Structure 1
Amino acid sequence: MTFRLYNTLLDVTAILAFVLVAYFVMYSQRVGESTLMILPDSFKQLNTIFLSLIIEAIPFVLIGVLIAGCIQIFVTEEHVKRWIPENKYRAIMMGCLVGAVFPACECGIVPIVRRLVAKGVPLHAGIGFLLTGPLINPIVILSTFMAFGNDIRMAGLRMGVGFIAALLISLFISSFFRSNQLKHTVSGLYGSENTSTGDVSFMDKLKGMCVHSIDEFFDMGKYLIIGAFVAAFVQTYVQAQLLFLFGEGMMGATGVMMGLAFFLSLCSEADAFIGASFSSLFPPTAVLAFLIYGPMIDLKNTIMLLSVFKSKFVFILLLTITVVVFVCTITISLVGR
């Protein structure tokens, strides 16, 4: 009951905000222009960053919720039992491999993982898919190759080190968490019906898929907006120089770049071009950490994960990703000397 009331309040707030914006845009152009003249430049910058994050993420979230709707309707628990190996290590490997060939953004992959885990996919396999999907899919590797002047080395390191890190993180999660760690069952969100079983026509299944996708979009969209706004606020009002104070030495530079990856919340399909721009300021190890850490976890993605999984699990996952990525990139640097 409390969860439904909380969701209702969020929905009402979002509708009121939309109506207010529509009013100023459509019926009060003079008021809008005069308001823009008195607004500080920092607020305009925050608005620009916020809108760019939303516009960048929305297409991938739409793809994600459509896939999640297909999983909800057309994939049954029996399918999951047949496809996912019972052996923990094979299941983790399978999750990481499927993610590696599955083009997805870190925002769009959250609803997919929620549906998979709710359908019975082991949490460790779902986490492997969550980590590798936005990080080493073909589109990301190609963009990395192009961003670094057609240099295969950085793209290969991102793919190899990222895959190893995802395996280690999934293994750690499998050792400490047995249950799915979802805050609530997906069926409890939108009703307990299961249109994937029984004598149901294809058109009814298609309609059910659309209904579930729409519900998923509005459910995840609230947290995407909140996460994008927080990320835009941090980028606007938190001075980047504060991070660079800790950038002395290899470890400090790596930590700084991981912090930038978290707070910038860039889309994994485009972050390689931003990472390449830091090549003259930071060593390759720090840039590699930036490229691996950001797609695995960032600010807006963390907020979306908190809406799906239990808070304790999300914070442990965040800490695990941070430690593993830091150790892996530093180790590769030491081995490569």
Structure 2
Amino acid sequence: MIKILRSSIIDFTGLIIIGLTLLLFSFSTSFNGALTFPPSVLDLNTIFLSILIEALPFILIGVLIAGMIQIFVTEEHIQKWIPKNKVMAVIMSCVVGALFPACECGIVPIVRRLISKGVPIYAAIGFMLTGPLINPIVIASTYMAFGNNIKMAGLRMGLGFLIAILVALTISFVVKGNQLKTSISIKSTHSHLHIQEKSFMSLFWSMLIHSIDEFFDMAKFLIIGAFLAAFVQTYIPAKTLLETGSGPVSSLLVMMGLAYVLSLCSEADAFIGASFSSIFPTPSILGFLIFGPMIDLKNTLMMLSVFRYKFVMGLLALVISTVFITIMLLQSFL
């Protein structure tokens, strides 16, 4: 308990230092020239803060749900809920994800807790891919962003669901084990013996402790990922990427790369995607809308903190290839 408290204090102190630094950057223009920064640094800070402010509420929701899973959901519950058949387990996980409002940031701690409780890796990945992409809030925002166009919202939902199932099914046949890092897997082990004997307040307090621990564990990787995404957006002009996207293949790759780098929240990315509609064809816009919520830069770093390196890189390659091939094969129908 003392070690956990000490670790949390260290993490919290680090977050305070980062926050004070950001505050200094934000108000540097008010020092009347005593302390000045290049405009690019201020732009970097603005983008960085916007990504953090956008993502933090979903991280908080995610860690609270993860804490509830850790305390109130037992391995026996998981065994009853998850079908034994791999295909049925994948389909069920994707359906649950589609109904679950979550951001790609907040869903990582939830997935980690589910896997530590015994959810198969392929079912957890199906849930992780569909949760940020096909939930009701995302579909509604897509519908509004494209001028109440039900076609774009439907294509995003249908293709995203298909791609998530294909990726999860592939993982079910080629990946063994839960792929969690050893230290995290050990830390996630929690005995549910005598849980019925504990009072609700005791369980609630335990849930908060786990949620706080989860938050500090995830927040540092979110900060690093947000900074890298802001750095790329500041110092690699989008114009450079857009100029290379002239053909159907290159334009799709450019929009997928842009989605990965921008690391936008899935509840808001449709409005950015809609702004490219006059420049890129529909298949490329769909690549942006589908690939970004599944995996982006900050999400990759958060997954690297949870899963083994080879698995994350393999998952990234699998999602990229599946999104690209699926859209290219169906582009004549889009």
Q: TM-score, normalised by structure 1?
A: 0.91
Residue 255 (structure 1) aligned with residue 260 (structure 2): no
Secondary structure of residue in 1 paired with 2:197: coil
Superposition deviation, residue 21 in structure 1? 5.1
Per-residue displacement from partner, 1:178-212 (whole Å, max 9, x unpaired)?
20000036563377554773522211111110100
Taking structure 1 as reference, are residues 277 and 203 closer, same or farther at Cα in structure 2, changes over 3 Å only? same
> Residue 178 of structure 1 aligns with which residue?
176
Secondary structure of residue in 1 paired with 2:132: coil
> Residue 279 of structure 1 aligns with which residue?
277
Per-residue displacement from partner, 1:34-66 (whole Å, max 9, x unpaired)?
578520000000000000000000000000000
The correspondence for 1:235, drawn from 193, 212, 233, is: 233
Contact persistence 2:58–2:102 (CA under 8 A): yes
The correspondence for 1:99, drawn from 90, 97, 100, is: 97
The correspondence for 1:200, drawn from 191, 198, 201, is: 198
Superposition deviation, residue 243 in structure 1? 1.8
1:127 maps to a residue whose letter is: I
Superposition deviation, residue 240 in structure 1? 2.0
Residue 121 (structure 1) aligned with residue 119 (structure 2): yes
The correspondence for 1:161, drawn from 152, 159, 162, is: 159
The correspondence for 2:52, drawn from 43, 54, 57, is: 54
Contact persistence 2:287–2:323 (CA under 8 A): yes
Secondary structure of residue in 2 paired with 1:314: helix
Residue 322 (structure 1) aligned with residue 289 (structure 2): no
Contact persistence 1:73–1:196 (CA under 8 A): no
2:207 maps to a residue whose letter is: M
Q: How many residues align?
A: 329
Contact persistence 1:54–1:228 (CA under 8 A): yes
The farther-off stretch of 232-241 and 62-71 is 232-241
Contact persistence 1:182–1:309 (CA under 8 A): yes
User: Quick one: distance in 2 between partners of 1:17 and 1:242?
Assistant: 34
User: Quick one: distance in 2 between partners of 1:30 and 1:155?
Assistant: 42
User: Quick one: distance in 2 between partners of 1:118 and 1:208?
Assistant: 17
Residue 211 (structure 1) aligned with residue 217 (structure 2): no
Taking structure 1 as reference, are residues 251 and 146 closer, same or farther at Cα in structure 2, changes over 3 Å only? same
Q: TM-score, normalised by structure 2?
A: 0.92
User: Quick one: distance in 2 between partners of 1:80 and 1:44?
Assistant: 48
> Residue 150 of structure 1 aligns with which residue?
148
Secondary structure of residue in 2 paired with 1:107: coil
Gaps in structure 1 of 5+ consecutive residues: none
Secondary structure of residue in 1 paired with 2:155: helix
Structural RMSD (CA): 2.5
> Residue 305 of structure 1 aligns with which residue?
303
User: Quick one: distance in 2 between partners of 1:335 and 1:97?
Assistant: 25
Superposition deviation, residue 241 in structure 1? 3.0
Per-residue displacement from partner, 1:137-188 (whole Å, max 9, x unpaired)?
0000000000000010000000000000000000111111120000036563
Superposition deviation, residue 335 in structure 1? 3.6
Percent identity reads 56
Gaps in structure 2 of 5+ consecutive residues: none
Alignment of 1:27-38 (within 5 A): 33-34=31-32, 38=36
User: Quick one: distance in 2 between partners of 1:36 and 1:285?
Assistant: 50
Superposition deviation, residue 120 in structure 1? 0.2
